[in-house]
Amino acid sequence: MQTFVTCTVTSILLLCGTLLHAEDWPTWRGPQRNGISTETDLPTTWSATENIKWKAELPGLGIASPVVWGDRIYLTESDGKRLNTLHVICLDRETGNELWRRKFWGTAPTLYHGSKSSMATPVPVTDGDFVYAFFGTGDVFCVSSDGELMWQRSLANEYGKFENRFAASSSPILHEALLLLQCDHYGDSYVLALDRSTGENVWKADRPECWLSWASPQLLPESQGHPAELLVSGSHKMDSYDPLTGERKWTITGLERECIPTPLFGHGMAYVVSGPKGFTFAIRRGGEGDISDSHVEWKTNRGAPFVPSTILVGDYYYLVDDAGILTCLDAHTGDAKFQKRLNGAFTASPVAGDGKIYFTDESGTTTVIKADIPEYEELAKNELGEPGYASLAISQGNILFRTPSGVFCVGE
């Protein structure tokens, strides 16, 4: 009897521990869109044969990170002569087996950059019941968790074909009843809020002064008397909008012409960067109109990337540029703490969890360092043997690694 009780209690404790440490990864850069996971016991080392739980083959192209909800992984890809055959795919998280796939035809495919981009570069977002997928063709789809198409929109047909280099890459975001999309390009730029249940417009904010961006919007949560804000990086500036109405609240100038990294939020400040060799700004919340001279806590032009987004872990702000130079700044002051050259070129953005930061270069090598310390301490350097353009996803003790050939599930 004692043995039974002990085993039962042990089983319950193990189950509770699993539930406490399990976390979904429902959108671009994780639950808070900042690349941070709260999970522990994450893998530190792996290779093409070590600590690989499964691999799922994907014949099409796409560098969108997977998103995870519960026992399901969702991702997108495109194929065909112009990459305008679009796919939304659901995999079993435990096995990698394909559960369903929906195929759609894109409205207006644009240019893309070889294997580094396609029409499936934006990362989808899920609330567990539905998956919302945005493609470089200007098409938006809402699909149920069982693969049923609920609604679709062709923004290219309605507002004009997307015109930019290397295809669109801005990933949508959910807020309350809205699906929010940033659509900056050579044509008529705008931010759009759709009713997530019907796909109908709730508001549309035109941005005639913005002509190109691949950045994804960021949501600043309501805190300390400040309402929620939608941050949108664009040509030479970043704007704050009311996410429920589309009203522009404030603007900061000084960004580069073409923006890619996603803004971050922490320590009561918004962090925004554009490059290459642009400035990083730490911006206090509040204010109206142009706050470039009134609300900048600090700025520096050290280490600014062009493509990879940055990461804020504890008191330190980390940037890796496209050439592999890693820079660590004090998040409160902007003072430089260290610089280190990592081997290889970088497209993917870093992620962090369990006291570690993961930097993946284009060769598929992931450098793992200790997080939240003012010096460089390398823990591992892992070679997967396949290119790595997509940012990693962390969920339920595993790391999901998308390559041109498929998805690897890394887990000890």
Q: Residue 354: inside a domain, yes or no?
A: yes
Q: Residue 16: inside a domain, yes or no?
A: no
Picking from 405, 404, 402, 401, the residue whose alpha carbon sits closest to that of residue 51 is 401
User: Token match 């997307």: residue?
Assistant: 162
- Does pTM surpass 0.85? yes
Q: Residue 224: inside a domain, yes or no?
A: yes
Return d(Cα 181, Cα 305) in angstroms, integer. 23
The mean per-residue pLDDT over the stretch 93-109 comes to 96
Least confident of 118-127, 222-231, 314-323: 222-231
Is residue 221 scored above 60 in pLDDT?
Answer: yes
Tens of pLDDT along 224-241? 788 999 999 999 999 999
Picking from 351, 361, 357, the residue whose alpha carbon sits closest to that of residue 403 is 361
CA dihedral 175, 73, 83, 174 (to 10 degrees): 0
Return d(Cα 191, Cα 182) in angstroms, integer. 5
Q: Residue 385: inside a domain, yes or no?
A: yes
Residue type for position 78: S
Q: Is 378 exposed, middle or buried (0-12, 13-18, 19+ CB in 10 A)?
A: exposed
Q: Which residue has the higher pLDDT, 297 or 286?
A: 297
Structure tokens at 34: 């900042």
Domain of residue 388, residue span: 23-410
CB contact burial 246-275 (16+ within 10 A = b; e otherwise): bebbbbbeebbebbbbbbbbbeebbbbbbb
Structure tokens at 362: 């284009």
Return d(Cα 37, Cα 60) in angstroms, integer. 28
Picking from 1, 8, 23, 117, the residue whose alpha carbon sits closest to that of residue 69 is 23
Is residue 195 scored above 90 in pLDDT?
Answer: yes
Amino acid 16: pLDDT: 36
The mean per-residue pLDDT over the stretch 176-189 comes to 95
Tens of pLDDT along 48-78? 999 999 999 998 999 999 999 999 999 999 9
pLDDT classification of 192: cutoffs 50, 70, 90: very high
Least confident of 94-98, 158-162, 163-167, 355-359: 163-167
Amino acid 287: pLDDT: 86
Mean pLDDT computed over every residue of the chain: 92
Residue by residue, DSSP assigns 356-387 as: EEEEE-TTSEEEEEESSSSS--EEEEEE-SS-
Q: Residue 230: inside a domain, yes or no?
A: yes
Is residue 13 scored above 60 in pLDDT?
Answer: no
Q: Residue 17: inside a domain, yes or no?
A: no
Picking from 207, 211, 210, 173, the residue whose alpha carbon sits closest to that of residue 193 is 173
Return d(Cα 59, Cα 291) in angstroms, integer. 47
Q: Residue 185: inside a domain, yes or no?
A: yes
Residue type for position 10: T
Q: Residue 5: inside a domain, yes or no?
A: no
pLDDT > 70: percent of the chain? 95
List the CATH number of the domain containing 88. 2.130.10.10
Return d(Cα 182, Cα 162) in angstroms, integer. 12
Residue 71: enclosing H or E segment and its boundaries? none
Is residue 18 scored above 60 in pLDDT?
Answer: no
Is residue 333 scored above 60 in pLDDT?
Answer: yes
Domain count, the chain: 1
Amino acid 164: pLDDT: 80
Amino acid 277: pLDDT: 87
pLDDT > 90: percent of the chain? 83
